[in-house]
A and B are shown apart, each in its own frame.
Chain A
């Protein structure tokens, strides 16, 4: 194997993990667009959705039937979480809401452990085994599958944000709930919709990555940190940014870990940090984010 194909193989590897980060980052971006907060529990909600899918498959349902059921359950679950957990602190400072999501994180994680134990579960792989060989570079079908699904979700979100009335309403709500309410928008419903959609996107993410990462209650914990990095890099309000950010983070850390001996696998987590800092110092709103205009 030549040095070039080795390099390409590592890039492919990086894109594969980057797509994993991007999938969850999309859910983070979605919730942020709707509600203006960072949801620490997003990964754990995705994990719970994945367990729902696993439970359905384990009880004999076919994967392709279990998937839509899971997505529907997640959508309803997300709305329920907003109604029960978030609504009561709606008018509290934003940090209070963020800490509520931290509490939700701890709760959901422990709950999953209680119900399904911490033993690793195997999750059915929706994509075929094996992969294709492109001039010596092996690309797994599963990686290609994840990338394809992430691209589809990203496009759907883009359309939702830019070309639908929901997108407009959502922006109004996230920007200023009080004036949105005054202009007749039912803010509560919009926020519930946001949580439901984010939970659904999260469920897609969980189902995609579970065959690769193996399902257990802490599955999404590590992904969440990288998804934060991806969203921060891309700009917290852009789905395209989330995906580009995810891929950049994935490729950069893989290459640095593999080729820069000083960094090595242990310190590769620092690479996205440096990139993020560098990008944000030039563009504080992230690569694809829009600068906030402040009213004094």
Chain B
């Protein structure tokens, strides 16, 4: 009897803790724009929108085990969809979101078909080629895209009833989009699609034997992932109000992948950490060395990978593991027992991200070897 109450107690405590964490996070997220200066709010906005793209990439790379170096191209497609719609057809901002999402989903489906055949390295490099090809293509389609001068469009404006400044309004809109996107990503992973992806990543042949339809799920993973990148790009246009082909060079694609790996693969809040890294660290690098920020930035990437080979999210998990084992010496740390593969579907505490990113070792995507 006493054991049962104890179990119930810990279960309830856990749930409570999770709820509190969520509430706190929500409170901080909602309060931030009233505390920080407008340009810091702008930085937070950019972190949120990059996090959407990284969450999409995470579906593909972290959970699907496929590498894409071309997500900058999907991001660009979303951004240009929004910009062209705003510029030529003067649709409202909101109308551009579903179009960009569906458009990029279809584009991703198209790319998912060759992705079926290609694995690891080869897929990565083909997608990279796509990212390299896109800027000149955008320049060529000058009548629609404005060519190399790009397009300047209206940014989001705060409606009068809100009483908010432009940066605050933009922040809240992006926050809403990001929250929905991250929830969607999480639910996707707990659905059949997510379980199939994980099974495939860990052992493709076994998954197939167990009846996972490889081709369908691989293609779908690519499409969903492109959708997220497209949504992120669309929101980018709302925030920046300017698109040009050279803004979306292949460097963006590589930055996105680097951000994801630095943040933590196969982790739910890794994308947020990665986005923050991509956003803040270049400025930090310049504060350290005015002469050559690139030197510092490169070193910081390497340093983070040394300290946290599985990404910043993994680092948090490991630290927690260490802390937990210090606190409760007798019982082994719970975080270490969990495997990322079985948890998402079994986890009873939806708000606690810990189970999924506790140990993303299985996240290692396989490249082809002889």
Contact = CB atoms under 8 A, between A and B. Distances in A.
Contact between A and B in the complex (any CB pair below 8 Å):
yes
B132 A38 contact: no
Given A106-B298, A225-B250, A236-B121, A99 B265 contact: no
Interface in A98-143: 98-100, 102-111, 113-114
A150 B166 CA distance: 58
Contact of B305 (A100, A113, A237, A284): A100
B302 A38 contact: no
Contacts of B121: 32, 38, 232, 236
B348 to A, nearest CB: 28
Contacts of A258: none
Contacts of B369: 36, 174-175, 292
A102 B137 contact: no
Contacts of B250: 225
A37 B261 CA distance: 15
Interface residues of B, number: 55
Interface in B286-302: 291-295, 297-302
A142 to B, nearest CB: 27
A68 interface: no
B5 interface: no
B98 interface: no
A236 to B, nearest CB: 6
Contacts of A292: 368-370
Interface string B9-33: 0000000000000000000000000
Nearest to A32: B121
A38 B302 CA distance: 16
Contact of A114 (B124, B295, B368): B295
A254 to B, nearest CB: 16
Interface in A45-99: 85, 88-89, 91-96, 98-99
Interface in B305-353: 305-306, 309-310
B129 A272 contact: yes
B119 interface: yes
A211 B86 CA distance: 48
A93 B126 contact: no
A1 interface: no
A4 interface: no
Q: Bin chain A's interface residue count.
A: 35 or more
A280 interface: yes
Interface in B241-273: 250, 254, 257-258, 261-262, 265
A270 B298 contact: no
A108 B298 contact: yes
Contacts of B125: 38, 228-229, 231-232, 276
Nearest to A171: B370
A135 to B, nearest CB: 35
B124 A109 contact: no
B137 A270 contact: yes
A99 B310 contact: no
Contacts of B298: 103-110
B197 interface: no
Contact of B122 (A40, A109, A284, A290): A284
Contacts of B126: 232, 273, 276-277, 280
A232 B305 contact: no
26 contacts: A36-B369, A40-B254, A89-B306, A91-B309, A92-B310, A94-B365, A94-B367, A95-B61, A96-B309, A99-B257, A99-B261, A99-B262, A99-B301, A102-B258, A106-B294, A109-B298, A110-B295, A113-B294, A175-B370, A236-B368, A266-B140, A269-B132, A276-B129, A290-B370, A292-B370, A296-B203
Given A103-B299, A276-B126, A280-B118, 17 more contacts: A32-B121, A93-B265, A93-B309, A100-B301, A100-B305, A103-B300, A110-B292, A225-B128, A225-B250, A229-B129, A236-B122, A237-B370, A270-B136, A280-B122, A289-B370, A294-B204, A294-B205
